[in-house]
Amino acid sequence: MDAPDVHVTHEARTLLSRADLASGPTPLVELTGLNAGPCRVLAKLEYLNPTGSIKDRVAAELIADAEASGRLRPGMTIVEGSSGNATIAIGAVARRRGHRVLAFLPGSITDEKRRLHQALGVQCEFFSPDPERPFNNVRRDEAVALAAAQPDRYCCFDQFSNPVNIRAHERATGAEIWRQVRQIGGGIDHYFAGAGTGGSLVGVTRALKRPGRLPRMEVTMVDPEGSTLTDRFHNRQPSERHQDKPDGLGERFLPGNLDMSLVDHAVYVSRQDAVDSCASLVRSAGILGGPCTGYTLHAALQWCRSQTERKTVLVLVCDRGENYLSDAQYAEAIACAHGTATTQARVPAAAG
C-alpha cells in the first residue's frame, strides 16, 4: 500500500481551500519526434499552471503556511528573491489575499516577466551579481536581511530553505506524476531535474522513490554553466564565473532545500544547448518551454542516446517559453528551428 501523501497543516489547508489559484493537475505526455535513441521521454507540462510555471505549486502553500504561523499578517509586505517565476506566482495569490509583494530580481530578467510583475502590482527591485560575494545569491540574501531587520513590516518565505517548498512538490507534483505513470504503465528509470531552490528536485524525488513506487529511479541534477552546484556535487572548487542569465536554474550557493544525497549524477549544460533544445521541442512537439526545460531536456536526450536498452526518463516543462521571446539568444534559436523544420511530430497525451 502506498504511503500517505504529505500534507500541509490543517490550518494552512483551511486557508488554501478558500484562498488561491489552484495548480495542477497538469498533463504528463510522451515526447515523440526527438532523437532519444531507444528511450521514452515523459514530460510533465508544468507550464500549464495558472501563472505559467511550476512555481504555482508552492506559492499558495508558502502564503498559507506563513499566515497560519502568524509570520504574515494583514498590512505586511512579502519580500522574496526570485528569478521571476516565483514572485509572479506569489503575486497572483497575494492579490487575492490582500498582501503586497516586493520582488528582488536579476537585472537581466526579460521584458515579458517585468510586465507580468507590473500587471500583478508587484513592486520590483533589480540586482546584479556582487563581485565581493561571488558565492551568494544577492537577491535572496537581501530579501532575508530586510525581513529580519523589519519583521513587523516584511515577511520573507526564503524559498531556498523553506521546507514548504519541498512539501508542496512531494504532496502534489510528485504524487501526480506517480498516479499518471501508473495509468500509462511502466515506470521511470531516470529523472532529470534542475536545481534552483531544490524544491522540485527533492520533492518529486521523495515522492517517486518511496518504497513501493520507484525506489531504483536515478536522479541527474542538471546545472547551467556559471552555477556551482555540479562542482559542489563532484567536490570540485567552483569557478567564480557567474551565469550569463539567471533563468531560475542553478545557484552560486548551496540552498538549504537541496539534499545532495538524493542526486546520483550531476552535469553542466550550456545556455546555447538549452535554448537549442527548446527549439527542438517546439519544432517537434509544439511545446514552447522556457530555458530551464531546455537544460534538462538536453541532458536527458544525451543520456538517452547513449543507452542500448529502452529506458524511460522524466523531465519537467517548467515554464512558458513566451516569457523569453524578447531574449535574443532564445528567440534566435526558435527562429532557426522553424527555418529548418521539415516534419511535424505528434505528442500523444499519456495521462491527464
Give the pLDDT means over successive 10-residue stretches in the chain (352 positions): 39 39 84 95 97 96 97 96 97 95 95 97 93 87 98 97 98 96 93 95 98 97 91 86 71 93 96 97 96 97 97 97 96 87 43 54
What pLDDT is recorded for position 332? 95
Q: How far is residue 242's CA from residue 31's CA, in Å, rounded to a whole number?
A: 32
Q: Where are the domains of the chain?
A: 10-49+166-345, 56-155
What pLDDT is recorded for position 21? 57
What CATH number has the domain spanning 56-155?
3.40.50.1100
Q: Does domain 10-49+166-345 have CATH number 3.30.465.10?
A: no
What pLDDT is recorded for position 135? 83
Asked, colleague to colleague, whether 10-49+166-345 and 56-155 share their fold, the answer is yes
Q: Please give the torsion angle defined by the CA atoms of residues 107, 254, 102 and 19, in that order, rounded to the nearest 10 degrees.
A: 130
For 103, the enclosing helix (H) or strand (E) is strand 100-106
What pLDDT is recorded for position 86? 97
List the grid coordinates of 319.
Answer: 515554464
What pLDDT is recorded for position 89? 98
What pLDDT is recorded for position 134? 81
**pLDDT tens per residue across span 97-147:** 999 999 999 999 999 999 999 999 999 999 988 888 888 899 999 999 999
Find, among 350, 221, 302, 219, the residue nearest to 37 by Cα.
302
Q: Which residues contact 26 (CB under 8 A, 6 or more apart)?
A: 44, 45, 46, 48, 49, 176
Neighbours of 142 (CB within 10 A): 18
What pLDDT is recorded for position 243? 64
State the number of CA atoms in the 13 A half-sphere of 284 facing the CB.
14
| Whether 269 contacts 222, CB under 8 Å | yes
Alpha helix stretches (DSSP H) within the chain: 10-19, 56-69, 85-97, 111-119, 138-149, 163-168, 175-184, 199-208, 229-233, 271-285, 291-305, 328-340
What pLDDT is recorded for position 129? 82
Q: How far is residue 287's CA from residue 345's CA, in Å, rounded to a whole number?
A: 11
Distance spanning both ends of the chain, measured CA to CA: 23
pTM of this prediction? Answer: 0.89
**pLDDT tens per residue across span 272-283:** 999 999 999 999
Using alpha carbons only, give the angle 115, 50, 259 rounded to the nearest 5 degrees: 95
